[in-house]
Amino acid sequence: MKRQTLFMLPALLAALAVSFIVLRTLPGVGSGALGRIPWRTESAMGLTLDVPAGASAARQDPGEPWSAVEFRDGILGTIRVAREVPQGDGNLQRALRDWFELPGLLEAPVTYTTRGQWAQARPVTAFGPSGHLLQRQGRLLVMVLVFDLDDHRYWVQARTAADTPEAVAGFHRVLRSLRGPKGEAPDPAMSGELAAAEAGLAPGMVRNLEWTRYLAFLPPAVMLLVFGIVSLVLAMGGRPPKGPEDVGNRYAEDNVEVGLVFRLSRKFFNGALRVAGDRLVVYTFGTPFLAVPLAGLAGRVTEKTGWFGPPYLELALDGRQEFRKYRMLYGASSTSIKLRLFTRDSSRLRVALGA
């Protein structure tokens, strides 16, 4: 691997690390995220329910006529379980109409707007007739289940900034785990009703961030593309000279890394080497780039070891050099330069140079 591409490896690894972090932390990315997180069972207001294991400890919020317990979690936000004592007027339908700001009684699934925000409500069967609400509040998503049980009215809510289908599924995971004071489970019909709510999400209700899993791979994809382009350019730069080979070549090698070391800068590229007659000629992209007279190289060729590979030959060149192209860039230099040849056969090249 050439140093031009080797230097890109840290950037490629960093891009892969960023992609991994994005996939692990962005809400809604990866449909299996909720399946990977652990859960724990908690008691709240006489009920038991599952909450994410990373949720904070229960926080009591006593009040009249409602008292509540809250848990805070990174995916589902604030999970609140509230209980009303006594049960109000006993008319759940009227309470749902007022609390949910419904256009009428909740007798069938309905999608509507309230205060300029999307809302979806549907009747469900938790521990009897119940009401289920999904509502946007600015950038937040509020999810609610209201039901009556044992002369109490319960309000189970999640309020989260992760307004994604995955958050809805997470809240429904909590609802399916509910157990009453006597250990009773919700009506089996509720599971299908919650699944229907997930399938019937209005387009403006949640954001579908599944596409971000592909965006997360953009940095390494770009780096791999750049890596491929650089590798292609290096391969083209080190190809053999155009035309038939000179039968007088004493040394020929293609795809050699070449370095030009100036006083204040360094240039590395791929080239081809040919030693014929009284000159060493460095080719790039199949055409001559630099011609170095062999006379005077005695004592100026040293073998050194680089950071990333085998030994290389360094030729100390004085005065103005015979550049065959890019003269405007290199030809005006009258300072001494060092020519580094990362050859695969330093001994044979050294013999060919007469050094």
pLDDT, position 31: 44
CATH number at residue 169: 3.40.1000.10
pLDDT, position 4: 56
The encoded tokens of residue 265 equal 């800068």
pLDDT digits (tens, 9 = 90+) for 119-162: 899 999 999 999 999 988 888 889 999 999 988 899 999 998 88
**Pair (35, 144) in one structural domain:** yes
CATH number at residue 328: 2.30.29.30
**Distance from C-alpha of 28 to C-alpha of 9, rounded to nearest angstrom:** 30
**Pair (110, 194) in one structural domain:** yes
Sequence-distant (6+) residues with CB within 8 A of 269 are 4, 234, 237, 257, 258, 284
Please identify which residue in the block is written with the tokens 């940095």: 219
Q: DSSP letters of 243-279?
A: SSPPTTEEEEEEEEEEEEE-SS-EEEEEEEEEEETTE
Per the structure, the count of domains in the chain is 3
Low-confidence ranges of the chain (pLDDT < 70): 1-9, 11-12, 15, 18-36, 63-64, 86-90, 204-216, 247, 307-309, 331-335
**Pair (107, 172) in one structural domain:** yes
pLDDT, position 256: 93
**Pair (243, 230) in one structural domain:** no
**Pair (143, 202) in one structural domain:** yes
**Pair (232, 339) in one structural domain:** no
Pairing of strands 77-84, 152-160: antiparallel
Q: Which amino acid is at 15?
A: A
pLDDT, position 117: 83
Task: Please check whether residue 289 is in contact with residue 324, taking contact to mean a CB–CB distance below 8 angstroms.
Answer: yes
pLDDT digits (tens, 9 = 90+) for 166-191: 888 999 999 999 999 999 999 999 99
**Pair (271, 339) in one structural domain:** yes
Sequence-distant (6+) residues with CB within 8 A of 230 are 4, 5, 8
Domain that holds residue 332: 238-353
**Pair (194, 51) in one structural domain:** yes
**Pair (5, 79) in one structural domain:** no
**Pair (223, 291) in one structural domain:** no
**Pair (46, 165) in one structural domain:** yes
**Pair (224, 157) in one structural domain:** no
Residue 316, CB half-sphere, CA atoms under 13 Å: how many? 7
